[in-house]
C-alpha cells in the first residue's frame, strides 16, 4: 500500500469522523465543562487557601487543567471507536481497497482536532478569569507542541481501550484514573506540602514534569530538565500506545 494511498484514505476517514463531531458539538462542550468547573472551584473557592508563591493561582493551576481537558476528551475517542466496531464499520472498511490502519489514524487525528478545540475553549475561559502570561509566540508554540504530543500519546492509549472494551461504559471508564492523576502531582499544590510517600509518587509520575514545563514556559522561567523528562514520558507512552494499539487492532480484525 503506497504512502499516497494511505494519506488519502486517512484524510477521507478523518473528514467522516469530523463531520460526526460537527453534527454533535456537545462532545467538545462536554469535554470543556469539567475543566472549566474545576477552574472555577479551585480559583474562587480553594485558591485563597493555597500558597503558591507570588504567582496568581489561575496561572499556577492552568497547566494541570489543560492536561485534565485532554484526559476528558480522549474518553470520547475510545467511545467512538467502540461504537464503530460494534456497528460493523470496520468490517465494511476491510472489504474496501483502503489502508487497514487508516481507520485507526482517522480516529486519532479526529481526537487531536477535537481536543485542541477544547483546549482553546479552556484557555479562553482562563483568560477571562485573569490568566496572564508574558510568553511570546515561540513559548505558545512550545506549549502547543507539548500538548499535541501528550494528546497523541493518550489517544493511542484510548484506542487500545476502545478496541479491547466489552461494553460502552468500559470503553470510556479507563480515562477516569487519567483525569485524577493531575491531583497527585504539582498541578494544584506544591509537591513539598504532601506526605513523603505521596510526594515521591507525585515527583516521579509524568504529569508533574509536563505541568512544570508548561508552567515555566508561561512564566518565562528556565525549564531545566523537566522538559526532557516530559518529552521522554510523552514519547514513551506514544510509542508503547501505538505499538499495542496496532497489535490489538490486528488481533481484533484478523
- Tens of pLDDT, residues 116-164: 988 999 999 999 999 999 889 999 999 999 999 999 999 999 888 888 8
Structural domains of the chain, count: 1
Single pTM value for the model: 0.88
- Which residue has better confidence, 111 or 239? 239
Band (90; pLDDT cuts 50, 70, 90) = low
Q: Which has the closest alpha carbon to 156: 112, 99, 100?
A: 112
Give the CA distances from residue 80 to residues 46, 85, 207, 224, in Å, rounded to whole numbers and listed in that order: 36, 9, 26, 39
Q: Which has the closest alpha carbon to 217: 144, 130, 157, 121?
A: 144
Least confident of 28-42, 62-76, 125-139, 143-157: 28-42
The stretches of the chain forming alpha helices (DSSP H) are 3-23, 26-41, 57-86, 89-94, 102-128, 137-164, 168-173, 175-180, 196-203, 206-218, 226-253
- Which residue has better confidence, 168 or 37? 37
Residue that the C-alpha cell 507525585 belongs to: 202
**Domain with 79 in it:** 3-253
Q: Can you read off the three cell numbers belonging to residue 93?
A: 472498511
Query: Is the confidence at residue 93, as pLDDT, over 70?
Result: no
Amino acid at each position: 500500500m503506497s504512502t499516497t494511498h494511505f494519506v488519502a484514505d486517512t484524510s477521507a476517514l478523518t473528514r467522516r469522523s469530523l463531520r460526526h463531531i460537527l453534527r454533535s458539538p456537545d462532545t467538545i462542550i462536554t469535554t470543556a465543562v469539567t475543566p472549566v468547573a474545576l477552574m472555577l472551584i479551585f480559583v474562587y473557592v480553594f485558591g485563597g487557601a493555597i500558597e503558591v508563591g507570588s504567582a496568581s493561582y489561575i496561572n499556577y493551576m492552568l497547566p494541570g487543567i489543560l492536561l485534565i481537558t485532554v484526559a476528558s476528551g480522549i474518553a470520547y475517542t475510545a467511545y467512538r471507536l467502540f461504537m464503530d466496531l460494534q456497528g460493523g464499520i470496520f468490517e465494511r472498511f476491510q472489504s474496501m481497497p483502503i489502508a487497514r490502519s487508516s481507520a485507526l489514524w482517522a480516529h486519532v487525528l479526529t481526537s487531536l482536532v477535537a481536543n485542541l478545540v477544547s483546549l482553546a475553549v479552556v484557555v479562553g475561559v482562563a483568560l477571562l478569569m485573569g490568566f496572564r502570561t508574558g510568553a511570546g509566540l515561540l513559548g505558545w508554540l512550545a506549549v502547543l507542541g507539548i500538548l499535541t504530543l501528550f494528546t497523541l500519546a493518550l489517544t493511542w492509549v484510548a484506542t487500545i481501550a476502545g478496541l479491547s472494551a466489552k461494553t460502552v461504559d468500559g470503553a470510556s471508564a479507563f480515562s477516569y484514573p487519567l483525569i485524577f492523576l493531575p491531583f497527585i502531582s504539582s498541578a494544584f499544590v506544591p509537591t513539598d506540602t504532601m506526605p513523603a510517600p505521596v510526594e515521591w509518587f507525585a515527583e516521579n509520575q509524568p504529569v508533574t514534569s509536563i505541568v512544570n514545563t508548561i508552567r515555566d514556559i508561561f512564566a518565562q522561567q528556565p525549564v531545566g530538565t523537566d522538559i526532557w523528562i516530559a518529552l521522554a514520558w510523552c514519547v514513551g507512552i506514544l510509542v508503547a500506545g501505538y505499538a499495542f494499539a496496532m497489535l490489538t487492532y490486528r488481533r481484533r480484525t484478523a
